[in-house]
Structure 1
């Protein structure tokens, strides 16, 4: 789902590193949620 245009942004990196335990799935879901409005339509 990320593709070649995937980039980390500072806010997302801060969320990942905030100290709360997260699964890879939670990180992927959050990335998808944050970038839903910028994703190209399929």
Structure 2
């Protein structure tokens, strides 16, 4: 799906700003067509 590709690009841009040395857990919940991002470090 196109929305998943857009979501991955969206998360990729966010993760780029995070410190690479830190471990992170990425998960998301889709409500309608809005991806909700939840990052725990």
- TM-score > 0.5 by shorter chain: no
TM-score (norm 1): 0.32
Larger RCO, structures 1/2 (Cα 8 Å, 6+ apart) = 2
TM-score (norm 2): 0.32
